[in-house]
Amino acid sequence: MRVLAFGAHPDDIEFQVGGTLAKYAARGDEIYMAVVTNGNIGSFRMSKEEIAATRKKEAQNSADLIGAKLIWMNFEDEFLFDTRESRLKFIDTVRIVRPDIIFGPVPYRDYNPDHDITGYLVFIARVNAVIKLIETEHPPTEKVTPFFYYSTLGAINFVPEYYIDITKEFETKKKMFLTHDSQQGDWCRDAFGISYMESLEAESRIFAAQAGTPGCSYAEGFQICKGWPTIAGAYKLLP
């Protein structure tokens, strides 16, 4: 199976769906991690060029941990918009991967505009990727792919419909997230005064508690995109 995850920024994928991707990878599925923006404002100490180059290396190191393929879309951090260019790039990314399942942020429910617009552009691309007269570098897909939303930060305005037990994969999830070393110390504390790793662990424990599965200590939560066309049995594609 081919699994495509979109993240607005380097480290978003790891935070919200890293354990699920590790579970897919362990069973032999093909994993693609599409990072939409280059993270070029994520530092108080480096230049835009320096932090963007650093974050690309960190994203590649994370993908390598589970044998995933990195797609670096290279839009400017915090200035992602719904434009002809962005729509075509998202459509072509879906066409490159030809996924069986897509993960991405829920549109217009999070604190960050890049998250919101990424979710909306994926919502558009999953349908437009099949349309022959929308021309991109790669040919149209044969079907509309099921799209699952992952959580907002802190699960604010987000109630999961499906839970994936990632207890066995949690250490891998942490290792993937910690490859983004530039964000663990200076940036998160300078900008927001928080520890993202503490937030990651807390959110994973909350979802595990909600799931109520015996032996589940950590979980990730998802909603299915209910926009047309709904795809019967799509939940069976979850690991």
The C-alpha atoms of residue 115 and residue 15 are separated, in whole angstroms, by 13
Tracing tokens 């962005």 back to the chain, one arrives at 86
pTM, entire model: 0.95
Whether the predicted pLDDT of 192 surpasses 80: no
CB 221 within 8 A of CB 160: yes
Q: How far apart are CA 140 and CA 131, in angstroms?
A: 6
Dihedral-angle region of residue 193 (phi above 0 means left; psi in -120 to 50 means alpha; beta otherwise): left
Place 186 in a pLDDT band, splitting at 50, 70 and 90: low
CA–CA gap between residue 10 and residue 16 (Å, rounded): 12
β-sheet with 162-165: strand ranges across: 69-75, 30-37, 2-7, 101-105, 147-150, 219-224, 162-165
Q: Is the pLDDT of residue 197 over 90?
A: no
Percent of the chain with pLDDT over 70: 96
**Each residue of 88-115: b (16+ CB within 10 Å) or e?**
bbbbbbbbbbbbbbbbbbbbebbebebb
Lowest mean pLDDT among 13-27, 41-55, 78-92: 41-55
The pLDDT of residue 36: 98
Environment class of 204 (CB within 10 Å of its CB; exposed 0-12, middle 13-18, buried 19+)? buried
How many other CB atoms are there within 10 angstroms of residue 208's CB atom? 22
Integer Cα distance of 95 and 81 in angstroms: 21
pLDDT of res. 185? 65
Whole domain around residue 48: which residue ranges? 2-237
**What is the Cα gyration radius of the chain?**
17
Asked whether the predicted pLDDT for residue 173 surpasses 70, the reply is: yes
Q: Is the pLDDT of residue 198 over 80?
A: yes
Amino acid at 2: R
pLDDT exceeds 90 at position 171 = yes
**Confidence class for position 184, pLDDT limits 50, 70, 90:** confident
Apex CA 164: angle with CA 96 and CA 4, to 5°? Answer: 5
Confidence of residue 105 (pLDDT cuts 50, 70, 90): very high
For residue 131, what pLDDT is reported?
A: 98
Lookup: tokens for 195: 């520890």
Res. 43: pLDDT tops 80: no
Banded pLDDT at 193 (limits 50, 70, 90): low
What CATH code is carried by the domain that includes residue 157?
3.40.50.10320
Cα-flanking dihedrals φ and ψ of residue 222, to 5°? Answer: -140, 155
Average pLDDT of the residues of the chain? 94
The average pLDDT across 17-35 equals 98
Helix, strand, coil percentages (3-state) for the chain, rounded to 5, are: 45, 15, 40
Query: For 15-24, what is each residue's pLDDT tens digit?
Result: 999 999 999 9
CA distance 23 to 220: 11
Q: How many domains are there within the chain?
A: 1
Note the pLDDT of residue 230: 83
Kindly state the tokens that stand for 234.
Answer: 């799509």
